[in-house]
Amino acid sequence: MRYATTRTKRWSMNIGHFVILAIFVIFTAFPFYWMLITTFKSTLDLVNPTSNPFLFNAPPTLENLRVLFFDTQYVRWVINTLVVGAIVVVITLALSVPAGYSLARLSGRWGKHLAIGIFLTYLIPPTILFIPFSRIVGALGLQDSLWSLVLVYPSFTVPFCTWLMMGFFKAVPHDIEEAAMMDGLSRFGAFLKVVVPLSSAGVMTVIIFTLTLVMQEFIYALTFITSSSQYTVSVGVPTFLVRGDVYFWGSLMGACLIVSVPIAILYNFFVDRFVSGFTVGAVK
């Protein structure tokens, strides 16, 4: 009797876990399903109020993708976004990794206060910095250039990523560095060959965070870029696929699907490293 009760309880728990997991999977996968089915729906199927919005009520069509790729500069926008993202990632890593290491090894109150100050700069709303950045971009002659975004975006990514990497480097024991230096490495050599590889989860977190921010940023990309050929995805798609009160829903969803799927795959491949990047130091 006791064994049957325990077995029933275990089965009930498994079913409960399965139901919760199924609800979570449906909730997270539904936006991708909605984008996919909308991409291949005809306009008449989309605007017909009697049609089932979750199924194809008319044969699928490639017209929405044709509009996206041939009536807009979507491919160019994707390339612009990737170029800006790659350069900003390199700049962010080049600045935040050594800065985070320095703050992690800086003892005393100054190191703690300086780290908090750097993190607080990340919390400043972008709209407050809009006018100063506009003056700088204008003075440097970078209007309507992707280099204006390369100049501005690190001001958002470097403070947060520095604070993030500082947590990783603090988790690396000093003894490991000292042992590496006793084996003949300089401090810089120990940093590159020992500390950085041990903090690879933090480096991956910085890359994912930076790429995500570049792809979703809208305000500065809209303000500093005026030529359609220089647009990033976040600006070009709503600008050309929303005309007054007319929304090209099929093409909009296709554009979002093409950009979001690689990011989702990247997150799933490195989800363990990404989560550890934001929870490092939470549990000793």
Mean pLDDT of 51-61: 85
Do 50 and 142 share a domain, yes or no?
no
Do 108 and 129 share a domain, yes or no?
yes
Lowest mean pLDDT, pick from 48-62, 118-132, 156-170, 188-202: 118-132
Mean pLDDT of 20-27: 88
pLDDT at residue 116 is higher than 80: no
pLDDT value of residue 135: 86
Contacts of 170 (CB under 8 A, 6+ apart): 104, 281
Domain boundary among 14, 39, 61: 61
Residue ranges making up the domain that contains 251? 67-279
Under the banding of pLDDT at 50, 70 and 90, the label for residue 284 is very low
171-188 pLDDT, tens per residue? 777 788 778 788 777 878
The number of beta carbons lying within 10 Å of the beta carbon of residue 142 is 17
- Going 159 to 164 to 170 to 172, the CA torsion angle's sign is negative
> What pTM was computed for the model?
0.82
Q: How high is the mean pLDDT of the chain?
A: 83
For residues 92 and 276, the model is more confident at 92
212-234 pLDDT, tens per residue? 888 888 888 888 998 888 999 99
Do 173 and 38 share a domain, yes or no?
no
Our measurement of the distance from residue 268's CA atom to the centroid of its chain's CA atoms, rounded to an integer in Å, reads 13
Mean pLDDT of 19-45: 89
Do 32 and 168 share a domain, yes or no?
no
Do 178 and 158 share a domain, yes or no?
yes
Mean pLDDT of 110-131: 74
pLDDT at residue 2 is higher than 70: no
Can you give the CATH number for the domain in which 89 is found? Answer: 1.10.3720.10
230-262 pLDDT, tens per residue? 999 999 998 888 887 788 888 999 998 998 888
| Residue 284, domain member (yes or no) | no
What pairs with residue 224 in β-bridges?
Answer: none
| Residue 210, domain member (yes or no) | yes
pLDDT value of residue 282: 45
The number of beta carbons lying within 10 Å of the beta carbon of residue 123 is 8
Instruction: Domain count for the chain, please give it.
Output: 2
CB-neighbour burial class of residue 63 (10 A; exposed 0-12, middle 13-18, buried 19+): middle
Under the banding of pLDDT at 50, 70 and 90, the label for residue 78 is very high
Do 21 and 77 share a domain, yes or no?
no
